[in-house]
């Protein structure tokens, strides 16, 4: 099962799933908001069913959310319409696609570890940013510590369509990918501390 099919199938359940760590999610959004102004244009890669974009709608001029799953995008559009949010739009596009711009900031939360083409995606993000713009990401670095042992159960679950593609990237590798794509890493930390989730703020100079 390819990524598009997997996430289309998972979309309805995903839309109703609560945030696993609301405090960490809120902290991530607070950090992100500190790097753009209310008149900013934002792009969110891997927007899912639109929850993050809609929570940030009052903090930016415009937000474009993209996701590989048309079903996810359909749900996101319905949520935006129901909430009366008019400065957020959604498009069904893979993460490496040209989504226009240039943008003041690009966000990618819980996405990069689900891709097999991270360098390509980062290079495209760099092209879509304005000079001085920022890329804010939060990704599971499953190649570090005991989580690397999850590769076998995840591989077995993928065989029966119960898990998506997962890349076992190390935190240091991800930091270097940012640099290789032309970014300057301004902030990099595990959030929450002690977790495998790495928050990175990288700037296009």
pLDDT, tens digit (0-9, with 9 covering 90-100), for 59-116: 999 999 999 999 999 999 999 999 999 999 999 999 999 999 999 999 999 999 999 9
Scanning the structure block, which residue is given the tokens 């099962």? Answer: 1
Q: How far is residue 151's CA from residue 162's CA, in Å, rounded to a whole number? A: 14
**Could you write out the DSSP letters of every residue in 153-201?**
HHHHHHHTTSS-------HHHHHHHHHHTTEEEEEEEESSTTSSEEEEE
Split into its structural domains, the chain has a count of 1
Q: Crossing angle, helix 70-83 and helix 3-16, to 10 degrees?
A: 30
Average pLDDT on 42-63 reads 98
Per-residue pLDDT tens for 137-159? 999 999 887 666 665 565 666 66
Q: How far is residue 169's CA from residue 151's CA, in Å, rounded to a whole number? A: 11
Domain membership of residue 33 as a residue range: 3-204
pLDDT of residue 32: 97
Q: For the domain that residue 189 is a member of, what is the CATH number? A: 3.40.50.150
């Amino acid at each position: 099962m390819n990524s598009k099919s997997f996430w289309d199938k998972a979309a309805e359940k995903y839309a109703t799933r609560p945030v696993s760590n609301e405090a960490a999610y809120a902290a991530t959004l607070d950090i992100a908001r500190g790097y753009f102004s209310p008149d900013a244009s934002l792009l969110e890669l891997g927007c899912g069913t639109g929850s993050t974009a809609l929570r940030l709608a009052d903090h930016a001029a415009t937000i474009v959310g993209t996701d590989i799953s048309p079903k996810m995008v359909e749900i996101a559009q319905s949520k935006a319409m129901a909430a009366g949010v008019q400065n957020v739009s959604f498009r069904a596009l893979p993460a490496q696609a040209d989504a226009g711009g240039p943008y003041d900031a690009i966000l990618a939360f819980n996405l990069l570890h689900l891709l097999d083409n991270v360098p390509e995606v980062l290079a495209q993000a760099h092209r879509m940013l304005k000079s001085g713009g920022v890329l804010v990401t939060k990704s599971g670095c499953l190649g570090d510590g005991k989580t690397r042992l999850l590769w076998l159960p995840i591989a077995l679950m993928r065989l029966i369509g119960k898990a998506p593609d997962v890349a076992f990237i190390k935190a240091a590798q991800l930091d270097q990918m940012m640099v290789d794509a032309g970014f300057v890493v301004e902030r990099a930390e595990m959030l929450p501390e002690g977790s495998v989730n790495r928050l990175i703020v990288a700037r296009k100079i």
